[in-house]
Amino acid sequence: MCGIAGILSLTPDARVEAAELRTMAAQLVHRGPDDEGFYVDPQGRCGLAFRRLSIIDLSTGHQPLSNEDGTLWVSFNGEIYNYRELRTDLEARGHHFGTNSDTESIVHACEEFGPGCFEKLTGMFAVALWDEKRGELLLGCDPFGKKPLVYAEFQGRLYFASEAKAILALPGVPRRIDPQSLHRYLVFQYVPAPHAIYEGFAKLEPGCFLRIPAGRPVDVTSTRYFELRPDQPGRFTGSREDAKQRLGTLLRDAVARRLISDVPLGAFLSGGVDSSIVVGLMRRLGVSPLRTYSIGFADPRYDESAAARRVARHFQTEHHERMVTPDIHKLLPQLAWHFDEPFADSSAIPTYYVSRWAREGVTVALTGDGGDEAFAGYDRYRAAALAARFNAVPRVLRRVIRGLASAVPHRRPKSFGNRLYRFAAQLAVNGAQRYLGWINIFPLELLAALYRAEFRERLDFDEPLRWLSQRFEAIDGGDAERANFADVHSYLPFDLLTKVDRASMARSLECRCPLLDPQIMRFAWSLPYEWRLGPRGGKSILKEWAADLLPPEIPRRPKMGFGVPVGDWFRGELQEELRQNLLAPDSLCRRLFDPPRLAAMVESHISGRANYEHPLWALLMLEHWGRQWGAHLP
């Protein structure tokens, strides 16, 4: 894993200098502490920077790297798991290789296939390719957004990097907050690509590439090369037993590909089905020693450490476990720095800690991420299927049901009453609007009440709903499958994978996600949806296949998620942290929200009269981010 950065001149007089590239690379040392490299086009049209975390071909994997005649250069972040097969094919076509690294396969694939090279790559990647002959820059990201790439255009140049901080380090780069992206963040808990929190910045979407000529201003528009759809050609037509057999082969192959490494590797183990399957296959494939890492909480509602220990014993792993405590005051500014943008998924905390602890023993960790999106694992898909049955019920009766549910005690997170209330609260609406009501951090009606009038006037208030609706309604099918599809194109890349990348790279740890192998995802989405979301819940066919691999109680365990008890922490150890940041006279929150209503929300939560844990966490991380980066609202 690595960090990349670069500059492309869009005007004849905006020559790229090596010193600028060094400034950018210095901000990415955590992504690549082992080596650095730079390239500047002889005419000053383009420059590439690289920071390396050595994983494969430790001695000759230096970048930027070129083809034989030095006319095509690459800087690359990630891993290509099929590089050996790709190399064999390219050598048969007449290409000559000088290293054993996966990077060289990219540059020769680009020579052979042009932008079509991205379709040939199996792995996780953000790639920058500079063609001296054409005077053209090619940027591309992997199909699901495992590796990030952000870019910005100003002063006659296009800047790009693995993280925005590399661009922000350059003199004269503005740090103006885009109000609409701030609104998106408060709704979703992340800023979805292609948008970015800063004006003038953008993020490359998963499965897309940019093709940009040097020397002249351009309209930067991405091209999609990968798309996952349930109506794709090749729908599975075999029996359920055939499907399980095929699934087993794909899972084994995906894990095996991700064991290629010249450094120690291990796995994150939560005790859930997905990470347990990955660990079990690592054991079957002969990984030794098999090191596993997990975290726990004192609150049993959030703690899965006992299940993780059970799996570790079953597979005889070298297991490491530590506890997360509310003493996180010093961590919050660090998270704000590493994420570049405001990011409100509180599970970034345990992800950061488990990455830090794992890095003490390994450089690569396999994870179970992606299993829920591939095999319909989230409880909200069951909720969507159940709620759809109420669509024929008159809305007035649905409102009555909502009122009855609100009478049940529901302020304690993860309680039955809380789940019932959240489910019933959205029964009066349908489709994407209902789904947004379940997943948003700030309910739109709460934002409408809190926003200052002058800030709301700057917003397209309903745009986040339209954005989600486009993804929800992009396929035919029931509400559960549509919600699942929307997650693949929103929550998965912009929340889950962003969290894993930033939190692990903060500790120079490479995370690999076998269940997000494109072959597995395509196969899963070719199956009848009821094989994934069965009568007893999600991952139906996956759990059936895993019955012979896992301890019998693991597939039967209810899904817990990777949550953090921040609501309780706000009433205890983080109470003053909350007040001092959100209610300070110079807080960003006071510019967005009506101060008395904001203060009332804070005190209502602290007193236990209401539960605003998710909105308050989003605001706390917003404040830390704003202070860390000196971002300002124009």
> Which secondary-structure segment (H or E) carries 80?
strand 72-80
| Token output for 397 | 């009766």
**CB count in 10 Å sphere of residue 478:** 15
Q: 3-class SS at 507?
A: coil
Minimal CA–CA distance to 456: which of 174, 186, 176, 175?
186
**CB count in 10 Å sphere of residue 180:** 17
User: Interior CA angle at 3 toward 26 and 277, to 5°?
Assistant: 140
- In DSSP terms, 150 is beta-bridged to 161, 203
Separation of alpha carbons 260 and 275, rounded Å: 18
User: Interior CA angle at 284 toward 279 and 287, to 5°?
Assistant: 70
Is residue 610 within 8 Å of residue 579, measured between CB atoms?
Answer: no
Separation of alpha carbons 323 and 329, rounded Å: 16
DSSP state of 72: E
The side-by-side arrangement of strands in the sheet containing 201-203 is: 35-40, 46-52, 2-9, 157-161, 150-154, 201-203
Q: Amino acid identity of 566? A: V
**Spatial CB neighbours of 455, under 8 Å, sequence gap ≥ 6:** 179, 591, 592
Separation of alpha carbons 582 and 579, rounded Å: 6
DSSP state of 504: H
Separation of alpha carbons 47 and 38, rounded Å: 7
Is residue 336 within 8 Å of residue 625, measured between CB atoms?
Answer: yes
| Token output for 270 | 């939560």
Separation of alpha carbons 339 and 343, rounded Å: 7
- In DSSP terms, 161 is beta-bridged to 5, 150
Q: Which of 2, 46, 110, 511 is catalytic?
A: 2
| Token output for 614 | 């998710």
285-290-295-298 Cα dihedral, nearest 10 degrees:
110
* Active-site annotation holds for 110: no
Is residue 6 within 8 Å of residue 21, measured between CB atoms?
Answer: yes
Separation of alpha carbons 545 and 247, rounded Å: 8
Separation of alpha carbons 569 and 576, rounded Å: 10
Separation of alpha carbons 495 and 633, rounded Å: 24
Minimal CA–CA distance to 436: which of 448, 422, 450, 449?
422
Is residue 6 within 8 Å of residue 161, measured between CB atoms?
Answer: yes
Is residue 11 within 8 Å of residue 165, measured between CB atoms?
Answer: no
- Catalytic residues, by residue number, are 2
